[in-house]
Amino acid sequence: MANELPTGPKGVTLLFGEFANKDYIYTYIGNIIYVESGIQSLFIMENSFWGRMLFINNNLQFTERDEFIYHEALVHVPVQSAPEGKIKKVLICGGGDFGASRELLKYPQIEEVIIVDIDSNIPKLVKKYFPGLLPENPEDPRLKLVVADAYEMVKKFLEEKKSFDLVVIDTTDPDISETGFTQELSHALFSEEFHRMLYELCPEGVIVQQCGTPFTMKNIMVETYKTFCKVYPKEEVYCYRANVPSFGGDNAYIMRCPWKNPEEPKWQELPNTYYYSHEVHRASFGLPKFWREELKV
């Protein structure tokens, strides 16, 4: 029987390798759904465990299976850190995937959500391939999408004397370290100059920025924390975290919140969240000792 053919799957298997670093690779077996090279390289694959996955410039942006954790932590922690009803007008810098807006629009008290994303392909792709990221009512009149560079748009909003109660910076990871990869479009949205403009645009509101996964990548968290502490009053700057399994560890978020005790959630709990609760809100601010050491800056 030595000549019998092996059983099991036949043919070529596509292996997708995502490099956490040069010697550690997340490998997925799956199908290519979509590939596009526009202002950013976009790539969608489908995997039996994670569902559909969006890669921007070859970095995983989100998976269908666990994006809810990333987006709920990004939005509900800052909203609920402010007194109930105080968040009415929200600006999302980046966030063209609609995930952050989906969470914001769950609050009837929020009156206006503006997404400013530089890449017109992202909203198009999400509408077609990731309908789960769209707001419950995709035609919600409170939602406005602007395709523009958020840096330039914030300048324009300042000229127009617009203001916001919450700014959510929901972008790809930037290249901060000298030894990093290609510089990302998001780079400018991590700068001191950008935050000085946001402080003017949102002087009494909350500002939150996603800061990647400190354990496996260059230390965006520490750099962003330093920038926040330069621009905003240091006692109003906080770090919190959420475990997004497909990111390979806890994701860090840096927040400026002028209200006292952001660790204590202030709004009613929503029934339609799957990660976020008041319990997890409080726990998000409890950081590992080695994070706390890194944030002693």
* Number of helices followed by number of strands (H, E) in the chain: 8, 13
∠ Cα 101 271 105 (to 5°): 20
- For β-strands 206-210 and 112-117, DSSP reports them as unpaired
**Which residue from 20, 33, 145, 197 is in contact with a copy of itself, where contact means CB under 8 A?**
20
Q: How many whole angstroms separate alpha carbon 61 and alpha carbon 44? A: 10
Residue 233 as a binder of a copy of itself (CB under 8 A): the answer is no
**Which residue from 7, 27, 37, 179 is in contact with a copy of itself, where contact means CB under 8 A?**
27
* Catalytic-role residue among 170, 173, 175, 250: 170
**Which residue from 66, 140, 223, 294 is in contact with a copy of itself, where contact means CB under 8 A?**
66
Determine whether 170 is an active site residue. yes
Mask for 252-281, x = binds a copy of itself (CB under 8 A): ---------------------xxxxx-xx-
Q: How many whole angstroms separate alpha carbon 223 and alpha carbon 192? A: 10
Q: Is the Cα torsion angle 283, 286, 290, 296 positive or negative in sign? A: positive
Residue 24 as a binder of a copy of itself (CB under 8 A): the answer is yes
Residue 120 as a binder of a copy of itself (CB under 8 A): the answer is no
Per-residue buried b or exposed e for 188-207, using 16+ beta carbons within 10 Å of the residue's own CB: bbbeeebbebbbebbeebbb
Tokens of 27: 């490998």
**Which residue from 26, 34, 181, 199 is in contact with a copy of itself, where contact means CB under 8 A?**
26
What is the amino acid identity at position 261?
N
Residue 6 as a binder of a copy of itself (CB under 8 A): the answer is no
Q: How far is the CB of 133 from a copy of itself (least distance, A)?
A: 18
# of chain residues touching a copy of itself (CB under 8 A): 43
Q: How many whole angstroms separate alpha carbon 210 and alpha carbon 240? A: 10
Residue 250 as a binder of a copy of itself (CB under 8 A): the answer is yes
Catalytic residues: 170
Query: What is the binding site for a copy of itself (CB under 8 A)?
Result: 17, 20-30, 47-50, 66, 69, 213, 215-216, 243, 245, 248-250, 273-277, 279-280, 282-290, 292
